[in-house]
C-alpha cells in the first residue's frame, strides 16, 4: 500500500500520556492510517529523525472571530504548532448580527478584546447574518487551522433586544427567542455558548457587555438548551478577584452545571505574588464542582500586561478610570492635569498593590526618551525627584511622548514553583492564550511552545508526555473534538513535529504593523516547530508556511 504521507524515524509522543517511542506515522485520506515500523512507500516522506512527532496542539481560548476574515494562516497560533482553535470566548463575537448594527458588534470587540476599530472596519467581511451562516462563511473562506466555534451570548442578546440588551434583562418572550437562536447555532455545530461576569468586559459606548445583564432566568433557559440537545459546553469568565472564587461565583458555577448538565470551563485561576496561597485555596474550594465538570483554565506563561496611557487596559477595573475610558487624547490630557483625577487613580493603583519597580517602559516614540526604554518607573521617578509619586512620573513621561509611550507590568504567574504546581494539576485546563485579542497589549498565543521549551526542557517542571497531553487530548476531549488530540489509527492527521532541543518562544513579543488598515500588533515568534500538518496536509514545512488551507470547521 502506498500512503499519501509518511513520517519516518520520529519519536512519537501520542497525546495520551504514554511514554514516547520511536515509530513511523502513515497518513491516508487525511487520517492516521498506521503507526509503527512502516516499509511501504508514500507520495511524500518527512524524515523526523531526532524530532518529536506529536498531535497537533489544541488552543481552547482564542478570539480569532474577526481575524479569520483576513488571515487564513491564523497567526500567531499556527506558528506554534497549534492545529485547532476554539473561538467565541468570553461572551463576545460577531454573529448573529443584523447589518444595521455592525458598529455595535465591532465596538464590542474594540473595547473588550482590544482590537483597533480601523483594523476591524478594514478587515471584517460581514458575509453572514445568522450564526450558522457565520460558520458557513468561515468554511467557504478556507483556513489553515481547524476552527471550533462557541456561540457568544452578547451578539445573540443584541440580535433580539437591540441596544436594550446593554441596559436590562430579557423578557420571557425575548429569552425564548435568544434560546431558540442558541439552539439553532448548536444544532449547526457550535460547541456550546460563552458568557462573562467580568467588570472589565465593557462594550459599545462604555456600557457593560450585554451578556453581563443576563438574569438567572435567562441563563437557566440558555443552559437548558444544552441539556435538551445533550451536547455542548459553557465557557464563562467568572472570577473578579483573580485567583480567588467568591461565594456568588461558586454558586453561579454550581447553577450552570446543574441547569445544563454539561461541562463548564471558567476563567481563571492565576498565581499571585500578593496572595501566594490563593490559587491552591481556590482549587481546593472548587474541587466538588471540578469533579462535576466545572474545569478552571490556567495559563503557563507569565501574564504581562502591555499598556499605554491612551489604551490603559491595566486600569479598566479602576473606578477612577471611568472618566478616562475611551476618551480622545485631548480629553485625557485635561484629565491628567486634574489633581483630583491623579489622586483617585493613584489610590486605586495603591489598593491594587502595584510594584513600581516592576512597571517598565517598553517602547517610546520620541527619540529623546529612548534612554527610558527597559527601565522601571520606580527608577525613572527617583531620577526625576518624584520618589513616592510614581504615577505622576509615569503620566509626565507619557505626555512628553505624546501619549505614545508603552509600559509593561507583570501581573500574575510570576513564581515558577507555584505555577509549576498549577500546570501539573489535573483539575485544570491549560489555555488562556487570548489569541487574536488585546493585540497592542499582550500576546500569549505562543503558550504551547513556551510550555515545551521553558517548563519541560529548561525547568524540568513537567514531563514531555504529560505536557503534550495537556495541550492536545485534554482540550480536545473537553470541547468534544472527536478524533483529534491523539496520534492513534483513525484519528484526523493533525500533527506537529518539533525539535525538542530548540522548541520554545520568548516571554515578550515584538511589535509588527501587519494588520488591516496599517494596525500594529504584538506577536511572539516560535522556535523549533519544524512541520505542522492539518488533516493530512502540511501547512508548515521546514518552518515555512506552505499556503495550504486544509482546516475544517469542526462541528459537534
- The pLDDT tens digits of the residues spanning 403-452 come to 999 998 888 999 999 999 999 999 999 999 999 998 877 899 999 999 99
Residue 506, all three cell numbers: 520568548
Which distant-in-sequence residues (6+ apart) come within 8 Å of 84 by Cβ?
56, 57, 58, 59, 145, 146, 147, 148, 476, 481, 484, 494, 554
Mean pLDDT of the chain: 95
**Separation CA 408–CA 428 (nearest Å):** 27
Q: Do 3-55+522-545 and 57-300+413-479 agree at the fold level?
A: no
Q: Is 337 left (phi over 0), alpha (psi -120 to 50) or beta?
A: alpha
Q: Would you place residue 312 in the very low, low, confident or very high pLDDT band (cuts 50, 70, 90)?
A: confident
The residue-averaged pLDDT of 75-85 equals 98
**Separation CA 381–CA 226 (nearest Å):** 54
Q: Can you give the pLDDT at residue 10? A: 98
Q: What is the pLDDT of residues 140-173, one digit of tens each?
A: 999 999 999 999 999 999 999 999 999 999 999 9
Kindly report the CATH class assigned to 57-300+413-479. alpha beta
Per-domain boundaries in the chain: 3-55+522-545, 57-300+413-479, 306-410
| Alpha helices (H) along 230-338 | 247-260, 278-290, 329-336
Q: Can you give the pLDDT at residue 112? A: 85
244-253, 349-358, 466-475, 523-532: least confidently modelled range: 349-358
**Separation CA 242–CA 297 (nearest Å):** 12
**Separation CA 475–CA 498 (nearest Å):** 20
* Among candidate residues 84, 85, 95, the one with its CA nearest the CA of residue 62: 85
* Among candidate residues 490, 500, 532, the one with its CA nearest the CA of residue 35: 490
Which distant-in-sequence residues (6+ apart) come within 8 Å of 251 by Cβ?
none
pLDDT at 299 over 80: yes
pLDDT at 241 over 80: yes
Q: Can you give the pLDDT at residue 467? A: 98
* Among candidate residues 61, 69, 62, the one with its CA nearest the CA of residue 119: 69
Q: Can you give the pLDDT at residue 305? A: 80
Q: CB–CB of 117/106 below 8 Å?
A: yes
pLDDT at 113 over 80: yes
**What SS3 state is found at 360?**
strand
**Separation CA 128–CA 235 (nearest Å):** 24
pTM given for the model? 0.92
**Span 3-55+522-545: which CATH code?**
2.30.40.10
Residue 115 phi, psi dihedral angles, 5° rounding: -105, 125
Q: Can you give the pLDDT at residue 342? A: 94
pLDDT at 274 over 90: no
pLDDT at 382 over 90: yes
Burial (CB count within 10 angstroms: exposed 0-12, middle 13-18, buried 19+), residue 171:
middle
pLDDT at 527 over 80: yes
366-375, 489-498, 502-511: least confidently modelled range: 502-511
The residue with cell 503620566 is: 395
Query: Of residues 241 and 63, which shows the higher confidence score?
Result: 63
Dihedral, CA of residue 47, residue 538, residue 455 and residue 304, to nearest 10:
150
The residue-averaged pLDDT of 17-42 equals 97
* Among candidate residues 296, 299, 233, the one with its CA nearest the CA of residue 266: 296
pLDDT at 22 over 80: yes
**What SS3 state is found at 153?**
helix
Q: Would you place residue 217 in the very low, low, confident or very high pLDDT band (cuts 50, 70, 90)?
A: very high
Residue 315, all three cell numbers: 486600569
Amino acid at each position: 500500500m502506498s500512503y499519501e504521507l509518511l513520517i519516518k524515524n520520529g519519536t512519537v509522543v501520542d497525546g495520551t500520556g504514554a511514554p514516547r517511542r520511536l515509530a513511523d506515522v502513515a497518513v491516508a485520506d487525511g487520517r492516521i492510517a498506521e503507526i509503527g515500523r512502516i516499509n511501504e512507500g508514500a507520495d511524500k516522506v518527512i524524515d523526523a529523525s531526532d524530532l518529536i512527532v506529536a498531535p497537533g496542539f489544541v488552543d481552547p481560548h482564542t478570539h480569532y472571530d474577526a481575524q479569520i476574515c483576513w488571515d487564513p494562516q491564523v497567526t500567531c497560533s499556527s506558528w506554534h504548532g497549534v492545529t485547532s482553535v476554539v473561538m467565541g470566548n468570553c461572551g463576545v463575537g460577531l454573529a448573529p448580527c443584523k447589518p444595521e448594527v455592525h458598529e455595535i458588534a465591532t465596538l464590542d470587540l474594540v473595547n473588550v478584546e482590544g482590537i483597533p476599530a480601523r483594523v476591524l472596519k478594514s478587515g471584517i467581511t460581514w458575509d453572514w447574518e445568522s450564526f450558522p451562516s457565520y460558520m458557513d462563511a468561515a468554511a467557504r473562506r478556507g483556513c489553515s487551522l481547524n476552527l471550533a466555534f462557541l456561540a457568544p451570548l452578547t451578539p445573540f442578546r443584541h440580535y433580539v433586544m437591540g441596544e436594550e440588551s446593554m441596559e436590562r434583562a430579557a423578557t420571557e418572550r425575548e429569552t425564548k427567542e435568544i434560546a431558540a437562536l442558541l439552539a439553532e447555532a448548536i444544532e449547526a455545530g457550535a460547541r456550546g455558548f460563552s458568557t462573562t461576569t467580568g467588570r472589565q468586559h465593557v462594550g459599545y459606548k462604555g456600557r457593560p457587555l450585554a451578556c453581563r445583564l443576563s438574569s438567572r432566568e435567562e441563563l437557566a433557559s440558555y443552559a437548558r438548551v444544552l441539556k435538551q440537545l445533550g451536547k455542548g459546553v459553557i465557557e464563562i469568565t467568572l472570577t473578579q478577584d483573580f485567583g480567588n472564587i467568591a461565594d456568588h461565583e461558586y454558586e453561579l458555577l454550581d447553577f450552570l452545571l446543574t441547569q445544563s448538565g454539561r461541562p463548564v470551563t471558567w476563567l481563571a485561576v492565576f498565581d499571585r505574588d500578593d496572595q501566594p496561597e490563593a490559587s491552591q485555596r481556590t482549587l481546593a474550594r472548587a474541587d466538588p464542582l471540578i469533579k462535576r465538570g466545572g474545569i478552571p483554565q490556567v495559563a503557563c506563561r507569565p501574564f504581562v500586561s502591555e499598556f499605554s496611557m491612551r489604551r490603559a487596559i491595566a486600569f479598566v477595573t479602576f473606578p477612577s478610570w471611568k472618566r478616562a475610558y475611551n476618551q480622545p487624547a485631548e480629553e485625557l490630557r485635561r484629565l491628567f492635569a486634574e489633581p483630583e483625577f491623579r489622586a483617585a487613580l493613584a489610590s486605586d493603583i495603591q489598593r491594587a498593590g502595584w510594584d513600581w519597580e516592576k512597571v517598565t517602559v517598553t517602547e517610546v516614540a520620541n527619540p529623546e526618551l529612548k534612554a527610558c526604554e527597559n527601565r522601571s518607573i520606580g527608577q525613572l521617578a527617583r531620577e526625576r525627584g518624584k520618589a513616592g509619586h510614581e504615577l505622576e512620573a509615569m503620566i509626565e513621561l507619557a505626555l512628553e511622548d505624546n501619549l505614545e509611550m508603552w509600559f509593561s507590568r507583570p501581573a500574575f504567574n510570576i513564581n515558577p514553583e507555584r505555577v509549576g504546581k498549577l500546570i501539573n494539576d489535573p483539575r485544570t485546563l491549560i489555555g488562556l492564550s487570548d489569541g487574536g485579542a488585546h493585540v497592542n497589549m499582550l500576546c500569549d498565543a505562543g503558550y504551547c511552545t513556551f510550555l515545551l521549551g521553558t517548563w519541560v526542557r529548561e525547568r524540568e517542571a513537567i514531563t514531555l508526555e504529560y505536557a503534550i497531553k495537556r495541550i492536545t487530548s485534554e482540550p480536545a476531549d473537553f470541547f468534544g473534538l472527536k478524533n483529534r488530540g491523539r496520534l492513534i489509527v483513525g484519528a484526523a492527521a493533525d500533527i506537529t513535529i518539533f525539535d525538542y532541543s530548540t522548541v520554545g518562544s520568548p516571554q515578550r513579543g515584538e511589535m509588527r504593523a501587519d494588520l488591516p488598515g496599517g494596525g500594529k500588533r504584538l506577536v511572539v515568534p516560535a522556535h523549533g516547530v519544524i512541520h505542522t500538518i492539518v488533516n493530512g496536509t502540511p501547512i508548515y514545512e521546514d518552518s515555512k508556511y506552505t499556503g495550504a488551507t486544509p482546516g475544517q470547521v469542526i462541528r459537534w
